[in-house]
A = this chain, B = another copy of it.
Amino acid sequence: MTTMGDVARLAGVSPSTVSHVLNGTRKVDSATRSRVEAAIAETGYRRNGVARSLAAGRTHTVGLSISALTNPYFGSLVHAVERALSDAGYVLIVGDSHDDAESEKRVTDSLLDRQVDGIIVAPAPGSHRRALPVIAAARTPLVLIDRAVDLECDQVGPENFDSARTLTEHLLDVGHRRIAVVRGIAGISSTAERFDGYAAALAARGIPVDDDLVVDGESSTEVAERQVHALMASAHRPSALVSMNNAMTIGTLKALRRLDLSIPGDVAFACFDDFEWSDLFEPKLTAVAQDVETIGATAARLLLRRIDHQGDAPQRIRVPSTLHHRNSCGCA
């Protein structure tokens, strides 16, 4: 390993000059600079970022705790965050929380140990009692993404309530009265907000929430498939269905297929999250698309700002979603 000292010696200058030409951090005579650059080229010197971070007190590294990269929604989120961060010269460490408070804590502890300059968390259920307080105590800049938590810090996520209400209202407009909802995993804000949106739409029409029509899909394809199958095979089958995320939508569609129920003939259908193949599917899916790009980019932006200005007031941003009206809702 060749170090800055080696380069300095070869160029006949001091280490600090080498440092300064490398970082452009003070004026260096162009002749000197050339000698240094030649020495760097000759030795194949490459700077040691670890030493640099230790001395400078900054790692230019950001951590992200998230669950299930397998889910394209999160994949896109990571993608958007990574892009924004790398444009700013930062690098991204990703850790999978498995949507479990314990694993999430392990991930964030490891990020904190590594002295990341900031952390973005898609909080797992129970996060506010485990990981989040520790991050706050470490005074490491923090941004919450995708899900809201009752905590004084920057937060970005999709608009859930209105979107879920719109989806439900639409089904109501088509004439449905018995509308079932497939709800996500308990303990996270999006599940609650989307459910509330559903309930609000019904309430506005004077329809009470019927517990028999609320199925817990736990944000999982398998669970949703099983639960929807049970519901649709039962006596109190609804005439319409709303699924609150992409994974559960697939489960729901599988269940309907297994029961040989047609959409929208036997049941109307609308869902949260759009798919690349939404209009390839027959019938084309009426869905609410989240603006993942914006959510991710905003999270990165908020974090970078906070890294530079610890003091600013925390912001909470909701990114609007857009309804893609196609024909699974049956209102052709």
Contact = CB atoms under 8 A, between A and B. Distances in A.
Nearest to A53: B50
Given A49-B115, A114-B91, A69 B76 contact: yes
Given A75-B70, A79-B68, A46 B280 contact: no
B91 A91 contact: no
Given A75-B75, A82-B96, A46 B113 contact: yes
A78 B49 contact: no
Interface stretch (A30-38, A250-258, A305-313): A250-258
Contacts of A75: 69-72, 74-75, 78
Interface in A164-223: 221
Number of copies: 2
B49 A51 contact: no
B277 A253 contact: yes
A41 to B, nearest CB: 13
Contacts of A44: 137
Contact of A69 (B46, B54, B79): B79
A150 interface: no
Contacts of A238: none
Nearest to A44: B137
A250 B276 contact: yes
Contacts of A254: 280
A91 B95 contact: yes
B53 A78 contact: no
A203 to B, nearest CB: 33
A245 interface: no
B112 A46 contact: yes
Contacts of A138: 46
A68 B75 CA distance: 9
A94 interface: yes
A91 B86 CA distance: 18
A83 interface: yes
Nearest to A247: B276
Interface in A1-28: none
Contacts of A47: 113
B276 A253 contact: no
Nearest to A59: B50
Given A50-B54, A54-B54, A94 B113 contact: no
Interface of A: 44, 46-51, 53-54, 59, 61, 68-72, 74-76, 78-79, 82-83, 86, 91-96, 107, 110-115, 137-138, 221, 250, 253-254, 257, 275-277, 280-282
13 contacts: A48-B113, A49-B115, A50-B53, A50-B59, A61-B93, A69-B76, A70-B75, A71-B75, A72-B75, A79-B96, A250-B280, A275-B277, A282-B282
